[in-house]
Amino acid sequence: MKKLLFVFLFSAGNLFAQKDIHIIPEPVSLTRNPGVFSLTPDVRISISATNPDLVRLGRFLSETLEKPTGYKIAVSDEKLIKTKRIIELKIDQTTFKVIGQEEGYSLEVSPQKVTVKAHTPAGIFYGIQSILQLLPKEIEANSPQKVSWKIPGVSISDYPRFGWRGAMLDVSRHFFPKEYVKKFIDQLARYKMNTFHWHLTDDQGWRIEIKSYPRLTSIGAWRVPRVGNWWDREPAQPEEAATYGGFYTQEDIREIVKYAQERNIQILPEIDVPGHSMAILAAYPEFSCEGGTFQVNAGSKFYKETENALCPSNEKVYEFLDKVFEEIAELFPHPYIHMGGDECYRGFWEKSAACQNLMKREHLKSSEELQSYFVKKVEKIIQSKGKKLIGWDEILEGGLAPDATVMSWRGTKGGIEAARQGHKVIMTPSEYVYLDLYQGDPAAEPVTYGMCRLKKSYSFEPVPGGVNEELVLGGQGNLWTESVPNTRHLEYMLYPRLLALSEVYWSQKSNKNWNHFVEKVENHFERLDEAEINYSRSAFDAIIRTLKDENDNIKIDMSTEVEGLDIHYTFDGTNPDSFYPKYQGRALDIPKNATVLKAVTYHNGKRTGKIITLTMQELRDRVGKYQFVTQYVDE
Cα–Cα distance for residue pair 355/117, rounded to 1 Å: 58
Give residue-wise pLDDT tens across range 176-232: 999 999 999 999 999 999 999 999 999 999 999 999 999 999 999 999 999 999 999
Tell me the H-state helices in 242-366: 250-261, 278-283, 315-331, 347-351, 353-362
Burial of 233 (0-12, 13-18, 19+ CB in 10 A): middle
223, 236 Cβ separation under 8 angstroms: yes
Cα–Cα distance for residue pair 213/216, rounded to 1 Å: 6
Cα–Cα distance for residue pair 266/324, rounded to 1 Å: 20
pLDDT at res. 14: 44
594, 571 Cβ separation under 8 angstroms: yes
Q: Which residue ranges does the chain devote to CATH 3.30.379.10?
A: 11-158
Fold of 164-405+472-494: TIM Barrel (3.20.20)
Burial of 97 (0-12, 13-18, 19+ CB in 10 A): exposed
Cα–Cα distance for residue pair 291/498, rounded to 1 Å: 42
Give the CA dihedral 338, 341, 342, 344, nearest 10 degrees: 150
**Phi, psi angle pair for 198, to nearest 5°:** -105, 105
What region, left, alpha or beta, does residue 105 occupy, with left being phi > 0 and alpha being psi -120 to 50 degrees? beta
541-621 is classed CATH 2.60.40:
yes
Is 251 among the catalytic positions?
A: no
Number of residues assigned to the chain: 635
Cα–Cα distance for residue pair 71/488, rounded to 1 Å: 30
**Which of 140, 209, 343, 379 does the annotation list as catalytic?**
343
402: Cβ–Cβ under 8 A, 6 or more apart, which residues? 376, 379
- Report in angstroms the alpha-carbon separations of 536 from 200, 208, 435: 26, 31, 12
Fold of 11-158: Chitobiase; domain 2 (3.30.379)
In the chain, the percentage of residues whose pLDDT exceeds 90 is 90
pLDDT at res. 82: 82
Q: Which residue ranges does the chain devote to CATH 3.20.20.80?
A: 164-405+472-494
Cα–Cα distance for residue pair 502/518, rounded to 1 Å: 14
**Phi, psi angle pair for 587, to nearest 5°:** -55, 140
Closest alpha carbon to 507 in 7, 61, 11: 11
pLDDT at res. 19: 62
325: Cβ–Cβ under 8 A, 6 or more apart, which residues? 271, 337, 381, 382, 385, 387
Q: Helices 487-494 and 178-190: crossing angle, nearest 10°? A: 20
Q: Mapping DSSP to helix (H, G, I), strand (E, B) and coil, where does residue 417 land?
A: helix
453, 439 Cβ separation under 8 angstroms: yes
**Could you say which DSSP state residue 606 is in?**
E
394, HSE (Cβ side, Cα atoms, 13 Å): 22
**Could you say which DSSP state residue 232 is in?**
B
Q: Which residue ranges does the chain devote to CATH 2.60.40?
A: 541-621
Total-model pTM: 0.94
pLDDT at res. 625: 67
Cα–Cα distance for residue pair 85/38, rounded to 1 Å: 9
Give residue-wise pLDDT tens across range 470-506: 999 999 999 999 999 999 999 999 999 999 999 999 9
SS3 string of 445-503? CCCCCCECCHHHHHCCCCCCCCCCHHHEEEEEEEECCCCCCCHHHHHHHHCCHHHHHHH
| Averaged pLDDT, groups of 10, the chain, 635 residues long | 34 46 97 96 96 98 97 93 91 76 94 96 98 98 96 97 98 98 98 98 98 98 96 93 98 98 98 98 98 96 95 98 98 98 97 98 98 98 98 97 97 97 98 98 96 98 96 98 98 98 97 96 98 98 92 92 97 97 95 96 96 95 62 38
Residue type, 283: A
